[in-house]
Structures are given as structure tokens and as C-alpha cells.
Structure 1
Amino acid sequence: MSNSIKKLYDEWSIQGFVLFSLSLQIILILFAPFRKRTGNMIVISLIWLAYLLADWAAIFALGLISSRQKYTQKFDDHADIRVFWAPFLLLHLGGPDTVTAFAMEDNALWLRHLVGLLSQVVTAIIVFGQSLPSNKLWVPTLLLFVVGTIKYGERTYALFQANLNTFRKSMLKAPDPGPDYAEYMEKYSAIKKDNREPNIWIEEAPERAMTSHQSDLDAIAEVQHAYQFFEIFKGLIVDHIFSTRDHWQSRDFFGQRTAEVALKVVAVELNFFYTVLYTKVVVIRSIFGYFARFISSCAIVAALSTFYSLDKHGFGKIDVGITYTLLFGAIALDTIALFMLAFSDWTVAVAYTQQVYTFTHTSNKRWKGINICFLPLFRCFLPLFRYFLHLKKINWGEDIESMSCLGRARQILFRRWSESLNQYNLIHYCLEEGTKQNRSHFASFCRMCFSLFNLKDFYDKITYVSKKPFEKKLWDFIFVQLKKKSDLADEPESPDTAKRICSARGEWVLQNNDWTTEGSSKLMHYIVDVGFDQSLILWHIATDLCYHDHTIHESDEDTRNRREFCKILSDYMLYLLVMQPTMMSAVAGIGQIRFRDTCAEAKRFFDKKVDLRQEQDQEHKQACTRILEVNTDLEPASLKGDISKSVLFDACILAKELRNLEYKKGWGVMSEVWVEMLSYAASHCRSNTHVAQLSKGGELITFVWLLMAHLGIGDHFQYTATQVSKISIHSLQEGVQSDSPSDFDP
């Protein structure tokens, strides 16, 4: 039996791994874009597995061909056709256009890929060289060798360009020494030496010019403006500082837009970030890229024609069939890549760039010649572009499982991000853990197995994290709150206001609006006197307790909406703290320890006070009621000290303070505090961590981060009191401006 398996492996291993490698390329080009459209961990894990296996399968198959050739002294037609497969494996190592890096860390390994490129090309050359001069397929093999080298080189260069160090250097402008101080002072000294009074004349730059925009935009205009802002704000990835002019331009645009248009523009802009960092778009969308792609396509077609015209007598039928599969597979991959490129946001932005941008902008000069030649052609396909952009529209608040098959397919295939919010609730988690531990031995066994392999967090994400469709009214509320702060911070002469607003994590709401009362002032302790992680858990539990309070009052629609916003943002922020610690690392402190201690106290309390045999909703309501019934006259810290970091009953005290407020005012305070916490976390999360989430379905906090930058909230802009546009120095007695070289226009 073992001999039969060994014989089967020796005979068909190369064919099997070559076809396996091609299959992985097809899977990646079709499904790799799905990782930006879903936050489903299983889907992302499968794409990650295919990404890892793709390189391994191609390298292993190339090694098999090399080793088989090494131990076979006789070169026959079978050996020739297998040598012909070697450059296909180089092509596969180049990967599809839709994925070059799976994570940001992969871009930092571009040097390793360069070494891999050199070593695999050398291996392919050796395999090809050993088959000469008797190789009947040397012409198509040589053609495919050129294609494979180009494709592998494209991937390596794309990784190099997306590496943060390279990206940072590409953002640097030419050095600007400013006005020639030495020459100015020579002129100044000469005037003083002649006993004349020098006069220094400084012409300031023109004041801010407000621009008027229509509040609504069509789909193509949204892509155009997103591309324009991407060219300016892509420096956020490497913590670039922007000018006052960038601040005015961005803030004026978003300040005159509706919340929906702002979200669409930001979504397209983040899609540009994603494609630059994780795909080959930087390499392809250049004159060299177009030329290399044209050469590659022509070489593949020429190789197919040459192979078709050759006498195949002596080749095995299966090997011939595999070769045709590889050739047509390469053509299909190129065709799919071309189709995706043609109907991408990049094509729309470049094709219609004349409507928004000027060709004098440095970053657009390389497209001038292309636009002149192809813009009329692109305009002919305007209805088709509009249709594809329509397919990418945002699905507001509708659960994908309740949609029709056509609507579900449209969302999965064309949306730009997951359009959902992950929800994680502390009380629900503690109740479920206790319930499953008591009721299900299988759940306990699964939890034990995952814990054994240090995968408990993965188990919790699958089991306890739910998804909430992203609703338009929630985004409208967030946008309005951020826009109010932007209006307050819109003073270039006082950048401290913007920084103070950015650094606020709830206190700004309690100090600077109608919520400031004697009752609400007691809430300040739970924001300013505790760390952000502690404050977040406190307000999360308090929000949940108030949300499930049985004494729900009749209220207007705005209050009901704010109540729902609090619950959604509360569960979302706890998800970020516990399940996405890298996004909260700058502000989380000991959040993980505090969360675990709080859960331990909650489970102990629920085991004693809550009937765990009820339905889930009833369990949750009863748990909240039992917590609120606890006497909290004494501060928990006076009993526990610093032994435990639990904040369960501190949150109970906070909830009682919130319940003492008038019903509408209480939910008004909570809703705006949660938006401020969200914006605080967004602004304090590292930029590379934000863009890392783009390959995992995207996060609302990343949209808030970019919107805040556009609205001028934060420290992204460099303000100067005086912007000098021209300086001159002359004698006061001359009374006129000198035309000497001392006049500069910096």
C-alpha cells in the first residue's frame, strides 16, 4: 500500500501542486477583496490560509520540478513540458492584483520578498538552462519566464512602496530653506552702515477664502472628491502634519455636506487607503505598470499561440491539458484583473479628474497624457460607471440576512466595508458563561479546548460578539456632534481649542452645553478622576443598567433614538476595549485586568441573585434589576481597596446618579458622552492601527478618526500666526520697494 502511494505521489505530485497553485490564485483574485467587506473571522481566516498556501504551493512545486530534473538524466518531452510549468509558478508567486499583503507587517518584509524573487528566478533559470538545447518548448518557456519575472517584481515593488518607511519618504517635499537670511542681513547692514533707517516690509498671504459647495453630490463627484482628499490626507498614515490651507479646504467641504455624503466620501477615501497598502494598485496605475501589463498579456497570448502550433506528439494528454489550463488560467487572471481595474474607484477618479482637479497639481501630472488620450473613451462608459457605483451604495440599517438574494449578492460583492458594528456586552457575557457552564457540558468542553491552545479570545469572538447593522440616524447623530466641535475649534489662531476638544473624553459635554446642572456635575468624577479604560467600563455597565430599567418613561423620538445610540455605542466601545486591544492600547491602561475582575464579581453575584433558568432577555433584565437593588451607601473601594480592579458596583452608583436626572436629560448626557469617548479613542489610536483594520472589514472608529481629521479636530494641522508670501528690505528714505535680489518670494 505504501509503495502504491509513493508511486502515485512520484508520478502526479508535480501536476497536483501546479494545479493547486493555480486554484489558489483564482481563489485569491476573486475572494481577497471580501476581507474589506466583512468582519467575519472565519471568512478572513480562510483568505489568510489561502494567502499563506499560495506562496508555499508555488515554491514547493518549483522545488519538485528542480529536484525531479536533478535526479533524471534523460530529458524527454515529459521533462520539457514540466520545465514549461516553472515560469507559471513564478507568475503565481507574483500573486493576483487584489492582494499583495495580508497585513501591514507583510509590507515591512519586502526585502525578504526581494530575496525570494532573486532565488526563485535563479532556480527557474537553472531548470530552464538544464533542459537546453533539446527543449522543444524553449520559446513559450522563455516568454512565460519574462511574464513571471514581471509579475513577481510587481508584487515586490508594491510591498516596497506600501512599506511605512518608503511611504513616509514619498510624502516628503523638496527641502525649503526659506528666505536667504544671510543676504537679507547683508542688505540690512549696508543700509545701517550708510546711516539710513532700514524698513522691513512683509506681505502676508491672502486670508482664507470660503468656497461654496452644493450639499449633495452624485456618485462620480463623491469619488472625485474622495480621491482629492486622499492625495492630501494619505500622510495621516505616517503622522504627517498638514497646512492651514489643507484645513480650510477640508473643513469647508465637509462642513457644507450632509452626514450621508460625508460618510460616502470618507468610505471611498478609506478604500483608496486600502488599495494602496494591500494591493498592486500603486504599481499598476503608472506608465511603467501599464506597459509591463501590456507586455505580459501579449507574452501569454504569444506563448499560447506557440504551444498550440507545436507538434505535441510525445507529450502526455493529461500534461497537455494541464498546460492549456495554466495558459488559459493566466489569461483569465489577467482579464479579471483588467475588469476589476477598469471599474474601480481609481478609474473613475482618474478618468474624470478634469472636472475637479487641475493638471498643475504635482500628483496628477503623470495622468495628464493618459486623460487626453482616453478621457473621451471613458466618457462613453459613463452610464456603466454610474451603475457600478450605484451597486456600491451604503445599505443603511438593513440586516443582510433579511435581504433578497439579489440584494445580498450586491452587498457581498460590491460594498466598500462591512457596514456593521460589532457588539459585546459585559452582563450578557457573564450570564451566558454562567448559563452555559451550568447547562452544557459541550460548551464547557469547547471552552476548555480553546483555552488549552490559548484561543479563548477567538472562542469568545465567535460566541459572544454579535453584529448590528449600521444605521443612518446613528451616523447623523455622530456627524452633528463632531461638526459642533469643529465649529468651536475652527480658529487657526487658537489651536489649543481643537486640541482640548480632541483630548476630552466626556468632560467637554458636561462642561460646555445645556447638560451642565448640579445633578450632572456629580458625573464628572466618573470621567476625569478615573482612567479611560475604567471610565469606559463604568459607563458601559451604567448604560446597560439604565437601558434595561423597568421604569421606562414615555418620551419623544429623539430621546428614544438617543437611548438606542447609547446602547449601540456602549457595546461597540467595550468590543474595542476587550476584543481589539491594539486599537485601544494608547488609552486602555489595565483595561483587560479590570474587565476580567469585573466579570468575576458579576458571575459570583449572578450565581447567587439571578435565576439562570429563564430566557435570555428575562435573565438580562433580572440581572440589571438585582444589581440596582444593591445598597451602595458605601463606596466599593472602601471595602475592597486595591485588591480587585472590579467596577461593577461603582457602575451601579453611576447608574443611580443617571437615573436621578430627568429622563430626557439623562439619555442626552449619556449619548453625547459616548460620542466623545468614541472620538477620544479614535484620535488616540495610532494611524497604522486604523488602516490595519481596513483589511478586516473596517471599523466605525476609523471613519470617525478620518472625519475628525477632515473637520480639523485634533493636532493634524500646523497653524502659524503669520504666513509670509513676500519679504523685502529697503531704506526708509528710498520710500519704494527695492528690486534688488534681496526681494524674495518664498
Structure 2
Amino acid sequence: MILPLIAALGGGIVSRRRIAEEASRSGFKEIWNEWELRGMVFLSLSIQVFLIFIGNRRKHSAGTFTTFFTWVAYLTADPVAVYSLGIITNKLTRSSDPRADFTLELNAFWAPFLLLHLGGPDTITAYALEDNELWLRHFLSLLTQAGVTFYIFFLAWDGSSLCILTFGMIIAGVVKYGERVWVLWVSSSDKFRNSIPNHSSNFSKLAEVQKLRMAEGFQVVPHEVIEVREAAMENNLEGTDFSLDNEKLSNEEMYKRCLGEMLAARGLITIFQRLFADLLLSLQDRDMSIAILEGKNFQVIFKIIEIELGIMFDVLYTKAKVIDTWWGTGRRAMVMLFSVLVLAVFLLAEVRSNSSSPVDLGITFLLLGVAIFLEAYALMFLSFSDKVACWLVKTKKLKALKVINWLQPFHKRQRWSGKMAQFRLLSFCLREKHLFCDRLLKIAKLDESITKHLYVTHEEVTDSLKRVIVEQLQWLKSKSTWNTRGSLILEYYDQMEKLGWSVKLEFDESIVIWYIATELCLNPTDLTSLVPSQLDKHIREKIQLHNMTCRVLSQYLVYLLVIHPNMLPVGIGRLKFEDAYTEAMRFFDDQKSIRDKEKTKNGKLKVWEALKQLCSCMIMKIKSMCGRNRKMDESKVGVECEKLRNNVNTKLNMTIVKEDKSKFVLFHGCLLASQLQEINDDETRWVLMGYLWLEMLTYAAGKCQGKYHCQQLRRGGELLTHVWLLMAHFGMTDHFQIPHAPSITELIFK
């Protein structure tokens, strides 16, 4: 009797548990079905708002977090909108009579707004250049998603005013998505290259006309009309001085200078956009750009380059090609006005009398409000563009120009980050920074590829550096060369015989060697010996300037070698870096083992020394995880540099080894540092090193292809890209290969 009773009680408890579990599951399922669509629509809205704000910030933001979250939002936006359309379709097809349910009709009204989201905000159409090549995929998506939206519209059609409003929003969504597909198509590599006009000649046509006229008895006299490019004159605003520094100008003079800079940049980029498509330029283009930049202050020259690259970013990564037309501006104004009209009609309709959920009504109002905001922001984005400012100057609409300058001053516009990345190879070799998941990364063999980004910092590109770069380019231009990577300055200081071996190696190997030598020279035991106090003030300032130049450019080129090796000349950059890293780690490990042996007694480490070492390691890891002080890092690197100088035997001649010489870059760097220290004159040594790094920078810039420069525009821009375009304006590129300048030829018949 007892056993059956226990079994019955146990079965009852189990059944009640099952009922409770099924009830909780059914309740969760009901909540999910009710809130799934709302959550996805709200997520799609949030992504659109985030992208419209962050999309254009990529032009002047070099932060890793900005890049990462933009990438996540861009990849998530389309799937979320498509999934939401699928949920709406599923709800309508499952309902026996969707026209009788106002909630389903309201959900169908959301479909065209999701199509608007697929069109994307105007500040970002492509995350990377590769996205422009996928225009055909987006075109097929436009056809399918537009078809799904129309299918939803017909399922919910009941002839009400809400359905009529839905049809109007569908048309706006199709047009907006079509704009995105068109922009991706015209920005793709082939279409972009074909859209740039070639330097054509009308000689064949004129020869045919000449032959016909001569047969008719006319006397034909050729007459050449020289074509004067508008860009050569449009930056010469009356009363503007482009030779003074910005600090010496008044607000009115600075305002005029900014207008001249934008006009010059707008005219030059129409010609030099050929570089981004790897097309050739004419000698007339070279002479014209040199004439425009001649006599300009270095700040003006760099500002013109910044504006040009900002325009190229808008062309390649935004809807600038659509916005900058009358059709694009008019369409945005019409869509915004239509959205306001829809919102007004929706408010006046019998929405409140229906039993729809307040949450659904709130999401509907939010969809309409965001749609209006996106179009208004697009018009504001257009108003603050450099192209509109140039158009206002040409049409002499000075009052509108003054208003725009008051809202957003021209001289404060950010067109790139203004920073250059830095990578300290020796700090990376010392493993000064750690992640909490180091062991997992080592098991997955991802530790080096991930942790190397912890050692990337950013330095501001100062006016002093800009000045020396312009001076270096002008000096190289006077020498009619730009393909050297250090030999020119070594010959100038008569050091080619002694130091020439360091620049005759492969370029990436030379970067690592000169970086090590620079670190050793910048980290002496007595830091005051860098700039002796007894020197003249002018000489000390000159040495300090080149100290800074050596430090930032050496770490910048190493950053390119480690993070973006495709921007450097073709070589085995990754292998060089790995060899240098392995060799340095071996050296530091050997030094550590020597120190450990010195601390041992009878072959066993003392207990208190072991505890001390364990505590110091834990403290170092905690500090590295919390963001270590840069001064502490520099002091540790300085100590290790001192050990390199004292322990590496530079008297050996290892340059004759037949094996891969990249395995000896650490030795070569120490050898080069010792040879540089033999130059007794501090001014000569540091000026030589500074200009050699500048020469290596210009060599790397000239050898990088245009497509890699385009890719960096979305990461806040690179100093290397600015130097590359500046070299092209000075005529220091192999792209000037069209010997005959374009001209207009007329035939005079007598």
C-alpha cells in the first residue's frame, strides 16, 4: 500500500513540474513572439542612428574602438533589417485575415522603413573598398527585399489611409536603397577608373577636317589655343597672403585663406584623383600643381592635401556623389517633407480609437522621427561640405558662406586624425604589456597577432614635423630625385663609405636596423648628453627637432612594417620583423638567465629572491593591464638598450655571412649605432639621422600603390598618404609620363 502511494505522490510531483515547465516555456514563447519584432526594429533604428554619427568620424578618428564598433554596426545593419522583414512576412502569412487586425496592419507599415534602413545613412555606404565591389550583390538584395516589401503591402492592403502612406514610404525606400547601390557601383575600382576622363587629343579629327577643307580649295592655317586650367587661378583670392604662418593672421585673413585652400584643393583633386586609380598624368598637370603650391606656407600646403584626401574619402565611402547633385538634395528634401506629412496624417488618423498597443504606436512614431532626422542630417552634412563652400564662393553667395562659417568654422574642420601611429619594437620584445588571456592566446597561436596592437600608440603630427617634411621634399625636388632611401643624405655628409651598407640592404631590413640604432642613440645612460647645454640655442633647438623627427618617424615606419606591411615596398617585411623579434627575445632571455645565475647560491635560488621575483612579476602584470606609465616603459627600454650596447660585440664583421642576413639585424643595429656614435659632432649626427628617416619616409610613400592609400582613409588617414600626394603635387612620382600637354587646336580657314 505504501509503495503505490509513494509512486502516486511522486508521479503527481513530476507532472506538476512538467506543467510548470511547459507553462513557463509557453509564457516565454508568447513574450518572445510579442517582443521579437519590436526588439529587432528598435535595434535596426539604433544601428542607423549610430552609423550616421560614426560613419563620417572615421575620416578623422584613428581609434581602434571606433573602427571596431563601426565594423560591427555596418555588418549587423543589413541582416537585422532583412530578419525584421522576414518576421513581418511570417506574421502576415500566418494570420487568417491580416486586414482585420490593426496591429498587423501597423507592423506592415514598418516594412518600408526597414527598406529605408537597408539604404543606409548618407555618411557611410562602404566600410572598406572591398564593399564597393559588392554592388551587384546589393542590387540583387534590392530586388528581393523590395519584392518582399511589396508582398507585405499587398497582404495588408485594405484601402485605408495607412496603406496609402505605406505605398509612398515604399517608393522612398526603394529610391534610397537604389542610391546606395548606384554609389557602390560608381565607386568600384573599374567604374571609378573609367569615370575619370583621359587626356585625349583632337588631332585625328582635325587632320580629317584639314584634308577636306584643302580639297575644297581653302588655305588652312593651324592655330593652337593654350588651355588654362581653372584650378591654377581659383585659389588666388584678392588680399590673401599664403606665405605667412596661421598664427600671424587675423580672423578675416584666416577666413580668406581657408576659402583659397578649399578652392585650390577642389581644383587639384579633379586632376590628381587619377593617382588613386593608378592612371597617368601629364606634364602640364605637374607644372600647374607646382605653380599653385609655389610660395605657399607649409601649413597651407598640408591643409590643401588634407582637403583633397577628405574629398576622396567622401567619394569612396559616403553618398557624396548623390548628395552633391540637385537630384540628391531635392530627393532628401522631398523625402523629409513627405515623412513629416506622413507623421501629420498618422497623428490625425483614427489611430487612437484603435486598440493597438502603445508600444507599437511609440515605435511607429520613432520610425517616422528617425526617418525625418536622417534626411535632415544628410542636408546638414551637405551644407558643411567643402564642395558646397567652393560653390558658394564661385557664385558669390557670401552671406550664406558667412552663416556656414559661423556654424562650423572652416579652419576648425577635421579632415583627418592629424596623428601618426607609433610602434616600439623593443617594448614589444620585452613583453611589457599583458592580457588576462595570454595563455589561451598562446595555445591558439594568436598572442603575437593580437598583443602587438597593445604597443601601438599615436603621436600628433606637429607643425615642426610638417615643416621639415616640406623642406625635405623641396630639397629632393631640387636634386631631381625621389627614389633614394638614405644614400643622398649620406653622400651629402660624406658618410656613404662608412654607413652606406645600411641603406643597401632590403628596405624593410634597413628600417629595422636604423630603428634599433635610433633607439640605442636616443637612450644613452646620461640622457643629458643628447643635447649638451653648452651648445648654442639655435643648434640645441635644431638637435631637439631632429631627435623628435628620428623618434617619431622610426617608430612610425616600424608600425607600418608590423601592422600594414602592404604599404611598404614589396619585400619580406613580416619575416624581417619576426627574425628581429626572435633574436631580440633570445638576447633578453639570455640576459635574464645570466642575472638569475648571479643571484643563485650553490645552484639554487634563494627563497626570498624567488618570492621577490614572483611579486615583481605580478605587480608588472597588474600595471600593464591597468595601463602602464609610459615613463616607466621608456626607462626599462633605456636599461635594455644600455645592455645591448655593452654586451653586443660590434667588432665582428657579420655582413659577409652567406646565410639570411635578416637574422643578424640586432647585431647590425648595434653596429650602426656604434658607427653613428663615432661622429663627434652632435649636430651633424642628429641632422643626418633626421634627414635619413625623412628620405626613407618619402621613398616608402612613393612606392606605395594608390589603392592602399585609399584603404587608410577610413582609419583616420595616414601621414604616408599625405606625403605621397604631396610628392605628386611636387612632380615627384612616376605617374607623369604623358609628354604632350593637352591643348585646344583650332583651324583657321582663309
Any idea what SS the aligned residue of 2:437 has? helix
Q: Is the 8 A contact 1:267 1:703 kept in 2?
A: yes
Residues 405-442 of structure 1 show CA distances to partners (whole Å, capped at 9, x for unaligned) of xxxxxxxxx522211111112222212x1x56xxxxxx
Residues 672-725 of structure 1 show CA distances to partners (whole Å, capped at 9, x for unaligned) of 111111111111111011011111111100110111111111112235278886
Please state if 1:285 is matched with 2:324.
yes
Note the C-alpha offset of 1:133.
3.0
Any idea what SS the aligned residue of 1:152 has? helix
Any idea what SS the aligned residue of 1:137 has? helix
Structure 2 gaps, min length 5: 1-23, 244-255, 596-612, 621-631
**1:272 — aligned with what?**
311
**2:509 — aligned with what?**
534
- Counterparts of 1:128-167 in structure 2, within 5 Å, are 128-133=153-158, 135=160, 137-167=162-192
Note the C-alpha offset of 1:350.
1.8
Note the C-alpha offset of 1:588.
4.5
Quote the Cα distance in structure 1 between the aligned partners of 2:743 and 2:328: 41
**2:498 — aligned with what?**
522
Note the C-alpha offset of 1:240.
2.1
Any idea what SS the aligned residue of 2:158 has? coil
Please state if 1:502 is matched with 2:477.
no
Quote the Cα distance in structure 1 between the aligned partners of 2:380 and 2:435: 49
Quote the Cα distance in structure 1 between the aligned partners of 2:263 and 2:208: 44
1:480–1:33 Cα change, 3 Å: same
**2:54 — aligned with what?**
31
**2:572 — aligned with what?**
590
Q: Is the 8 A contact 2:336 2:376 kept in 1?
A: no
**2:424 — aligned with what?**
425
Q: Is the 8 A contact 2:421 2:458 kept in 1?
A: yes
What CA RMSD, in Å, does the superposition of the two structures yield over aligned residues? 3.0
Please state if 1:113 is matched with 2:133.
no
**2:69 — aligned with what?**
46
Q: Is the 8 A contact 1:38 1:697 kept in 2?
A: yes
Note the C-alpha offset of 1:136.
5.1
**2:364 — aligned with what?**
323
1:89–1:208 Cα change, 3 Å: closer
Please state if 1:657 is matched with 2:675.
yes
Please state if 1:85 is matched with 2:110.
yes
Note the C-alpha offset of 1:57.
1.1
Residues 453-503 of structure 1 show CA distances to partners (whole Å, capped at 9, x for unaligned) of 5654553344111111221101110111112222443xxxxxxxxxxx232
TM-score, structure 1 as length reference: 0.82
**2:11 — aligned with what?**
none
Any idea what SS the aligned residue of 1:418 has? coil
Quote the Cα distance in structure 2 between the aligned partners of 1:722 and 1:106: 36
Any idea what SS the aligned residue of 2:345 has? helix
Quote the Cα distance in structure 2 between the aligned partners of 1:723 and 1:695: 34
Residues 17-71 of structure 1 show CA distances to partners (whole Å, capped at 9, x for unaligned) of 1111111111111122222222111221011111111111111101100111111
1:470 aligned residue (441, 455, 461): 461
Note the C-alpha offset of 1:200.
12
Identity %: 33
Please state if 1:642 is matched with 2:660.
yes
Q: Letter of the 2:269 partner, please give it.
A: F
Any idea what SS the aligned residue of 1:248 has? helix
**1:495 — aligned with what?**
none
1:17–1:180 Cα change, 3 Å: closer
Q: Is the 8 A contact 1:101 1:279 kept in 2?
A: yes
Any idea what SS the aligned residue of 1:549 has? coil
Q: Letter of the 1:645 partner, please give it.
A: K
Note the C-alpha offset of 1:260.
0.8
1:184–1:380 Cα change, 3 Å: closer
**1:604 — aligned with what?**
586
Residues 364-419 of structure 1 show CA distances to partners (whole Å, capped at 9, x for unaligned) of xxxxxxx5xxx54xx223333334553753xxxxxxxxxxxxxxxxxxxx522211
Please identify, of 622-631 and 637-646, the stretch whose mean Cα deviation from structure 2 is larger. Answer: 637-646
Note the C-alpha offset of 1:146.
1.4
Please state if 1:624 is matched with 2:624.
no
Structure 1 gaps, min length 5: 191-198, 355-370, 394-413, 437-442, 490-500, 729-737, 741-746
Any idea what SS the aligned residue of 2:122 has? coil
Quote the Cα distance in structure 2 between the aligned partners of 1:469 and 1:154: 37
Quote the Cα distance in structure 1 between the aligned partners of 2:671 and 2:391: 57
- Counterparts of 1:215-614 in structure 2, within 5 Å, are 215-216=242-243, 218-312=257-351, 313-314=353-354, 315-352=356-393, 354=394, 371=395, 376=397, 379-388=398-407, 390=409, 393=412, 415-431=414-430, 433=431, 443=434, 446-452=437-443, 455-456=446-447, 459-489=450-480, 501-511=481-491, 513=492, 515=493, 517=494, 519-528=495-504, 530-550=505-525, 551-554=529-532, 555=535, 556=539, 557-584=541-568, 587-609=569-591
Any idea what SS the aligned residue of 1:416 has? coil
Quote the Cα distance in structure 2 between the aligned partners of 1:207 and 1:318: 65
Q: Letter of the 1:627 partner, please give it.
A: L
Q: Letter of the 2:386 partner, please give it.
A: D
Q: Letter of the 1:552 partner, please give it.
A: L
Any idea what SS the aligned residue of 1:577 has? helix
Quote the Cα distance in structure 1 between the aligned partners of 2:61 and 2:293: 27
Quote the Cα distance in structure 1 between the aligned partners of 2:107 and 2:584: 65
Q: Letter of the 1:118 partner, please give it.
A: L
1:723–1:137 Cα change, 3 Å: closer
Quote the Cα distance in structure 1 between the aligned partners of 2:110 and 2:36: 13
Quote the Cα distance in structure 2 between the aligned partners of 1:390 and 1:449: 50
**2:95 — aligned with what?**
72
Q: Letter of the 1:578 partner, please give it.
A: V
1:472–1:174 Cα change, 3 Å: closer
**1:8 — aligned with what?**
31
**1:362 — aligned with what?**
none
1:391–1:345 Cα change, 3 Å: closer
Quote the Cα distance in structure 2 between the aligned partners of 1:722 and 1:45: 46
Q: Is the 8 A contact 1:594 1:646 kept in 2?
A: no
Q: Is the 8 A contact 1:447 1:459 kept in 2?
A: no
Note the C-alpha offset of 1:562.
0.6
Q: Letter of the 2:652 partner, please give it.
A: L
Note the C-alpha offset of 1:227.
1.2
1:700 aligned residue (707, 711, 719): 719
Any idea what SS the aligned residue of 1:718 has? strand
1:257–1:189 Cα change, 3 Å: closer
Note the C-alpha offset of 1:520.
4.2
TM-score, structure 2 as length reference: 0.82
1:722–1:29 Cα change, 3 Å: closer
Any idea what SS the aligned residue of 1:323 has? helix
Quote the Cα distance in structure 1 between the aligned partners of 2:720 and 2:502: 23
Who wins on radius of gyration, i.e. which is larger? 2
Quote the Cα distance in structure 2 between the aligned partners of 1:639 and 1:675: 30
1:30–1:79 Cα change, 3 Å: same
1:326–1:200 Cα change, 3 Å: closer
1:202–1:679 Cα change, 3 Å: farther
Quote the Cα distance in structure 2 between the aligned partners of 1:464 and 1:310: 60
Q: Is the 8 A contact 1:392 1:416 kept in 2?
A: no
**1:123 — aligned with what?**
148
**1:396 — aligned with what?**
none
